[in-house]
Amino acid sequence: MEKEQALQKIINLSNQLNQHNYNYYALDKPTISDFEFDKLLEELITLENQFPEFISPNSPSQRVGGTITKEFKSVKHNYPMLSLGNSYSVEDMIDFDRKVFEGLQIQANDLFNTNQVQYVCELKFDGLSIGLTYINGELQQAVTRGDGVQGDDVTNNVKTIKSIPLKLQGNYPNVFEIRGEIFLSKHVFESINKEREQIGEVPLANPRNAASGTMKMQDSKVVAARKLDCFLYYLLGDGMPSQNHFENLKIATSWGFKTSQHSKLCHNINEVLDFISYWDVHRHDLPFEIDGIVIKVNDYQQQKQLGFTAKSPRWAIAYKFKAEQVSTQLLSISYQVGRTGAITPVANLQPVQLAGTLVKRASLHNADIIEKLDIRINDFVFVEKGGEIIPKIIGVDFTKRKRENIKTNYITNCPECNTELVRKNGEANHYCPNENGCATQIKGKIEHFVSRKAMNIDSLGGETISQLVDAKLIKNIANIYDLKKEQLLSLDRMAQKSVQNLIDGIEQSKQVNFERVLYAIGIRHVGETTAKKIAKNVKTIDALIALNKEQLLEIDEVGETIALSIIAFFNTPQNQQIIQQLKTAGLQFSLSPEALAKTGTKLNGLTFVISGVFNNYSRDQLKELIELNGGKNVGSISAKTSYVLAGDNMGPEKLKKAQSLGVKIISETDFETLIA
C-alpha cells in the first residue's frame, strides 16, 4: 500500500473508531458489535505498525496501553481543584440555599417556590477526580486532584479509558478543561477481586480505592485491562458555549464526552431535596457506587458573584449519604482457606436486609479486626455496606451483649487439615503452611493451574478436581499428567466421551507457552502480567531458579515481595519435585524457538528512554526488543540512563535534559546495530 493510501485509511479507521466509541459510551447506543469493533482496531494497529510515522498520540490504538511511566510528574492546576463543603441533613441544605440567596443579595419571599436561583443536582460518583485539558479538540493532559493546587500527570493511563474521548467532534473551544470522576463499575470491581484471589492476593476493599490505585500504576497496559470508566461534569475555560452549567453539560455530550443522564436542573431547594430523597433510596440500583449528591448553582455569573472560601466554592455543596447500617446477630464465625493458605474469618449472620440485598455473611478480615472490635459469637453487631461491595462489621452493640458471650479466640490450626497456623512478621493474615497436604489448598492450586489464562484445561472443572483429590488420584498439579482413562472412568458422571475430552485437553496443555506455565504453577504474588515479564527476561525456568534476590529485583515488575516469594517457592523441596515432574511430562519451561530468536543479552544492564516517531518500528515494538535483549525501559532521563533512543520530533525538554546530563542519544539505525 502506498503511503498516501495508508494515511487516508488510518484517518478513516480512526474516525470510525472514534464515532463508535462516542455511540457506545456517550450515547449508550452502539451500532456495531464488540467483535466488529475489535476487527477495525486490529486493522488500524496493523497499518500503524507498517507506517509508524502516521501514529497520532491520540489514535484509538493508544487505548490498549503499553506505555511505562516510572514517575508521575507533578503539574500545577490552571484552576484550583477545590474540594466541596459537605452537608448531611435537610437543615444543612436549607441553610446552604439561604446563604446562596444572601450572597446574591436576593430577597426571596418563599425559599421553596422561587425560580430566581436554579440548581443542578448531580450524582456524587465515588472515584478519583480528574482534570482533562483539550487543545484544538485533542486530549493534551490529564491531571489528578492531588492537593488541589497541583496533581499528578496521568495522561498515558487516562488514554486507556474508552469513555474519555481522545479527539472531539463538533464546535468546541480551542482550549478548555473538563473535570470528572474516574471510577470502577461494581461488576468490574468484583471481577478484579476474583482474579486477585486466584493469584493469592488480598481482595481490594472498595471500588474507590481500586480506581485511585489503578491510576498510579506504572504500566498503562495493566490500567487498560482494569476497564476504568469516567463521567465528566464540569467545564472550565474561556469561550464556553453557554452561560449556564446545565446547558454546557448537554453540549459537552455532543463533543464526545460521557456525562451522567441522571443530572437534573432544579428550580428551587424543594426540588433539590426531592432529588436527594429519591437517590438515597435508589442509589443501590446503579451499576456504580455513589456516596451522595452534588448541588451547584447553574448560572456562571451567579457562581462568580458567590465566589470561594479558602477551601471550597460557595456556589456548590455535597450532600453525603449516611453509610447504610443495620444491626443483626452474629451466629458463628467460619474460617476459609485460600489457594495460598491464607485464612479468612467470615461472620455468619442472622439474615438481614441491607442496601437492597439480603446479607447473611460479612468479612471479618483477620485476627486483629476481631480483637480490636471485641467481636463475640451471639453479639449483636453493626453491619455496613457504604462504599464497600462486601458487607463488613464495623462494631458491636454492647448494650445487647450477654454475660455468657465469651471472648473469641482465633483458631490456631487449619480448619481443613489441622496443621498449626503461622503468621509472618508484617502480615495481617494467618496461613496454613501445609500447602502440599491441605486438601482445600491443593484443590485451589489445581483449579488455578487448569484455568483459562493458565493451562486452559477447560474439561477439568471444580467438581471433577474435588473427586480426584478426595479419591487420592491426584495430590498436586503434576499428578494431572499421570491420569489414566481407567481411573477417570471410575468417577461419577464420567463417560467415555467426557474422559477422552479430558485426556485430549491435558495432552494439548503441554503446548502452552512458558509465560502461561510460569503463571499456572501458582507462585504467590506472580500474576499473569508479571509472569510474562519474568519469562521474557529469564528465558528458562532453570535460569529463574538460579537467580538471587538482587538479580530478581532487576526484572521489570518484580519488587521485593515478589522476589522473596519466588525464592521461597523454588526453595521448597515439594515444589522442586513438582517442577521436575512437570518437566518430565513435557510442559514448556523455556521460551519457544520463535520467541528465543528475538532475544539476546546484548543490552544487559542498559537502560533506555524512547522519544519521538520512528520509521521501522512502533514505540511498543522497540520497548519489546529492548526487554527481549536484556535491556530495561524507563520513563524519564536521569544520569543513570544508558541511551536515549530518539526518532523524529523528539521532545525538546528530553533533548535538553539528555544533553545536560551527557546521556548518549542514538538513532533507530544505531539501535539496530546494537542488537544485530
Q: List, by residue number, the catalytic residues.
A: 124
Backbone phi and psi for residue 643, each to the nearest 5 degrees, phi listed first: -145, 150
Beta strands in 212-309 (DSSP E): 229-236, 264-266, 290-297
Task: Cell 503539574: give the residue.
Answer: 75
> d(Cα 444, Cα 341) in Å, to the nearest integer?
9
Q: Which H or E run includes 469? A: helix 462-470
> d(Cα 388, Cα 370) in Å, to the nearest integer?
19
Distances (CA, A) of 91 to 54, 88, 94, 97, 316: 59, 8, 5, 10, 16
Say if CB 65 and CB 223 are below 8 A apart. yes
Cell of 574: 515439594
Cα dihedral value 129, 135, 140, 145, nearest 10: -20
C-alpha dihedral sign at 237, 242, 246, 251:
negative
Close Cβ partners of 95 (under 8 Å, ≥ 6 residues apart): 87
Nearest alpha-carbon partner for 443 in 168, 133, 122, 198: 198
399 CA to centre of own chain = 41
Q: For the chain, how long is the longest CA-to-CA vector?
A: 90
SS3 388: coil
Cell of 192: 478484579
